[in-house]
Amino acid sequence: MSDIILFDGVCNMCTGSVQFIIKRDAKQTFLFSSLQSEVGQELLRKHNVPKQIDSLVLIKANGRVFYKSSAALRIAGQLKGGWKLFAIFLVVPPFVRNPFYQIIAGNRYKWFGKKAECMLPTTEQKERFLD
């Protein structure tokens, strides 16, 4: 069983982040689904994700769910290279980390743009996407 990353499929920054993760996920630890898809919506309901979470969700294979900076840092901790070092920031309490995350997430469309439709994975990537 793999960890699942739910992401905003119309956000340019989010889809760029998915491509970034795929390139550095040497063990193919992660599967992906957009928040807007039927699969994404079902996973949000199944794991009781709060409605206000609209940018990044990590669902671990063991069923634990992480949002915002906790999700981003746990994902970084599983990537190859120096990205693992970002996981050290998990020692900082979420109430300190999340405001910084929220500034970026809250401005993601303004700063990075938005697509009319969710991204389509390449043929090589299709097996990593749930929808």
Residue 126 lies in a domain: no
Residue 23 lies in a domain: yes
State the average pLDDT for the chain.
Answer: 91
Count Cβ atoms below 10 Å from residue 73 Cβ, excluding itself: 22
- Which pLDDT value is given to residue 91? 97
Residue 128 lies in a domain: no
Q: List strand residue ranges (DSSP E) for the chain, in order.
A: 3-7, 30-34, 56-59, 65-67
Q: Tell me how far apart the terminal alpha carbons of the chain are, to the nearest angstrom.
A: 16
Residue 131 lies in a domain: no
The backbone torsions φ and ψ at residue 58, rounded to the nearest 5 degrees and listed phi first, read -115, 120
The residues with which 78 forms a beta bridge, in sequence order, are none
Indicate the number of domains in the chain. Answer: 1
Q: Which domain holds residue 68?
A: 3-120
Which two structure tokens, joined as six digits, stand for 2? Answer: 């793999």
Residue 127 lies in a domain: no
- Which pLDDT value is given to residue 117? 67
Residue 125 lies in a domain: no
For 12-26, the pLDDT digits (tens) are 899 899 999 999 998
For the whole model, what pTM was predicted? Answer: 0.91
For 69-107, the pLDDT digits (tens) are 999 999 999 999 999 999 999 999 999 999 999 999 989
